[in-house]
Amino acid sequence: MPIPDFQYLMLPMLQLAADGAEHRVSAVIEALAQQFQLSEAEGGQSDRALLQFGHRNDQRPDLLQCKQTLATLDPGGVPLRSATVAGNRADDPRSVPTWQDLVALRGHANFLLVADCKAAALTTRATLAAGDGR
């Protein structure tokens, strides 16, 4: 089974947390991996796992993390693309694949990509400009 994206992963995670008790990250990962029938690599037991130790903003290197990408269509906020990626990867390389997927989905590049400062990397801006993006 492919690794579930945000929409499929969040509800089971919230259901696990609904009892109000503290849960170890490893126990949550194991429970979700069993529920979604993930392999050891997909479930967090290898260096290819989705949840990885990385550089966190809150200075907690002891916690596993993943990153979520969400692209929406405004003004309604309709989700167009969602992806969950390993937490030990940089953010800036995620903008180009997201933009490319949106171009393929819409059939053209005539839309405005709004992203955080990591999308301002020179290679990202050059790729979008070369593809008539804005």
pLDDT digits (tens, 9 = 90+) for 116-126: 888 888 988 89
39 within domain boundaries: yes
7-34: pLDDT as tens digits: 677 788 888 888 888 887 777 777 887 8
Q: Which residues pair with 112 in a beta bridge?
A: none
What is the number of structural domains in the chain? 1
Q: H or E element: which one contains 71?
A: strand 64-73
pTM of the full predicted structure? Answer: 0.56
Residue 109 domain-assigned (yes or no)? no
Residue 112 lies in a domain: no
Q: Are 28 and 16 in contact (CB under 8 A)?
A: yes
Q: Where are the alpha helices (DSSP H) in the chain?
A: 6-17, 25-35, 40-43, 95-106, 122-130
Quote the domain boundaries for residue 30: 1-66
Say if 85 falls within a structural domain: no
Confirm whether 101 is domain-assigned.
no
Write the Ramachandran bin of 67: left for phi over 0, alpha for psi from -120 to 50, otherwise beta: beta
Q: Is residue 13 part of a domain?
A: yes
Tell me, yes or no, whether 42 lies in a domain.
Answer: yes
What is the percent of the chain where pLDDT is above 70?
79
Q: Is residue 47 part of a domain?
A: yes
